[in-house]
Chains A and B, each alone.
Chain A
Amino acid sequence: MLETNAHPLLPVLEEIPHHPGRTFLHRVDSDQWKELGLKKHDRLLLEFRPLKDGDVALILHHGQPVLTRYRHFPQPGFLPPSPAKPIPQDDAVLQGVVTCLVRTM
């Protein structure tokens, strides 16, 4: 749920033509990743691009968003926080590589 004090420019910004790009914000809607240091209402800046070894990646696995680290070796796959098992690349679909954490203090 969006909760904000409206900025006077917001109605103008809403009219700016939008072209779908590969960079977007993902809002953390729960405390599901608090063990990873992420809080509810934090936002992650995601970039949809080919994966490199070591990337922090947001994936969909069994229909759920999972924050993982991508490992290319020995087999391409995603490492979720332990104790969960590694997820083979074909079993998941990438939503984006995390490039930045946005937190409103």
Chain B
Amino acid sequence: MFGPDHVSAPTRSILHLDADAFYASVEQAADSRLRGKAIAVGGASRGVVASASYEARARGVRTAMPTSRARRLCPELILVPGDFAKYERFSQLMFSYAYDLTPDVEICSIDEGYFDLSGQSKGHPRDSAARLSEAVRQSLKITISQGLAATKFASQVASKLKKPNSYLEVEPGKEREFLAPLPSRWLPGIGTRSEPLYLQAGLARIEQVASLELDDLELLAGSSASSLKLFAQGIDPRPVIPAPPAPKSVGEQETFNADTIDENFVLAVLRTMTDRLCRRLREDGLAARTVTLRIRYNDMEETMRSDSLDEPSPVETDFYPKLAPLLKRAWERRVSLRLAGVRLSHLHAALPEPELPLEGLPGKTLTERVQLAEASDLIRRRYGKGAIVRGHDLWLKNKSLD
């Protein structure tokens, strides 16, 4: 990824913003009756908590916990279904304040971003951080936590260390010292699954990872060992990239071999495109909320129709029920079609997996559907695209043979 020659410039001032319990805080801001109460967002289709207020966290409720368990821990818990359009709006307004400070804003997700304040001529970056925090608190009635450091990684850790409503500054050149005593799970790539391996290897703290020989670290971390070691040493020259790296939407379209009036055929093609788009989303750890269908008639006129899910999903079967009504609404002329396309937008980072198997929930939750879809992806990668197919793929294959 990067070598030891690229020692981070001590003059950089990178601010990392992390909104506190974002979804739950937005719900409390939008409805004053929920303020000060134990609330959690989620449960509608996943059966897990997507975000919990700090009042709920004090009772043991955590993100990714099955809602049944959360209710047992906190019987007065108020469960609120997610309103992702509202969260997107709050996110937009929150980040709009960052552009008052610098054009170098890298939005990583709906509630996290980096700002490069290195070129600031007026005042100390900590004053800018204070202004930003106050503006967001006053206008949006939510709190944020911020970390200031010379590197992205150190600033990110600093913002998360003392949440909520916190500000932590790492002195330039002291990044390694700051990170050293922290548990190694703070390092990128070490999660709940891999952490036990590091603990067994005696690498409980970041300082132990930083001082381990690279050859030995490779036994655990494989090809990412060198970047992991550099992160542990506080070296991270990654720049703040203002353009959002993630796409705003993913889409596909297909021009038919011959113009068609066969609704079943068009629907099967739309489903197959949705399958491929959802596979792309899952590969990138994303989920989409809105599906847009586009058709082009044989006279080149086009029509689009969109609809949205209540919660973002990376699973094609969640979008299937939207496709037929959208096609019916879009195909309003008695004219054959030349092209059809699907676009998935309002992309979000996929919601966290539950920490425990789900208990006694009727039907398949989103998490179970995601697990099923990921298992299908794995089979396709290992044994080829035709190893596992859906009914509409077979139908299309048979139709093409007719």
B residues in contact with A2, CB < 8 Å? 292, 304-306
Find B92's partner among A3, A14, A24 (CB 8 Å cutoff): A24
Q: Does A91 belong to the interface (CB within 8 Å)?
A: yes
Task: Name B93's contact: one of A3, A22, A92 (CB within 8 Å).
Answer: A22
From A3, A6, A14, A21, give the contact of B96 (CB < 8 A). A21
Is B32 interfacial (CB-CB < 8 Å)? yes
Does A93 lie within 8 Å of B306, measured CB to CB?
no
For residue A18, CB closer than 8 A to chain B, the reply is yes
Given A62-B33, A92-B32, A93-B30, does the pair A22, B96 have CB atoms closer than 8 Å? yes
In the complex, the chain B residue whose C-beta lies closest to that of A8 is B302
Shortest distance between the CB of B90 and any CB in chain A (Å): 9
Contact A20 B304, beta carbon cutoff 8 Å: no
Distance, CA A74 to CA B307, complexed state (A):
44
Per-residue interface assignment for chain B, residues 327 to 347, with 1 indicating a CB less than 8 Å from any chain A CB and 0 otherwise: 001000000000000010000
Contacting residue for B249 out of A3, A4, A14, A19, CB 8 A: A14
A63 at the interface (CB under 8 A from B): yes
Closest to A19 in B: B99
B residues bordering A, Cβ < 8 Å? 27, 29-33, 86, 89, 91-93, 95-96, 99, 105, 107, 139-141, 243-244, 248-249, 292, 294, 301-308, 329, 343
Knowing A2-B292, A20-B95 are in contact, say whether A95-B89 is a contact too (CB < 8 A).
yes
Instruction: Please name all residues of chain B whose beta carbon is closer than 8 Å to the beta carbon of A3 when the two chains form the complex.
Output: 304-306, 329
Q: A62: which B residues are within 8 A, CB to CB?
A: 31-33
B325 closest partner in A (C-beta)? A1
Distance (whole angstroms) from the CB of B387 to the closest CB of chain A: 33
On chain A, which size bracket covers the interface? 20 to 34
Partner of A48, one of B33, B93, B141, B292: B93
A residues near B (Cβ < 8 Å) are: 1-6, 8, 10, 14, 17-22, 24, 48, 60-63, 90-95
Distance between Cα atoms of A80 and B301 in the complex (Å): 44
3 residue pairs, one from A and one from B, having the closest CB atoms? A2-B306, A63-B31, A6-B302
Tell me which residues across on chain A come within 8 A of B27, comparing CB atoms.
63
Known A6-B294, A48-B96, A94-B139; judge A60-B30 contact (CB<8 A): yes
Q: How distant is the Cα of A103 from the Cα of B292 in the complex, in angstroms?
A: 23
- Chain B residues whose C-beta falls within 8 Å of the C-beta of A92 in the assembled complex: 32
Contact, CB under 8 Å: A1 / B33: no
Distance in Å from the Cβ of A22 to the closest Cβ of chain B?
A: 5
Q: Closest B residue to A18 by CB, please name it.
A: B248
In the bound complex, CA of A90 to CA of B248 (Å)? 34
- Taking the closest CB of chain B, its distance from the CB of A39, in whole angstroms, is 20
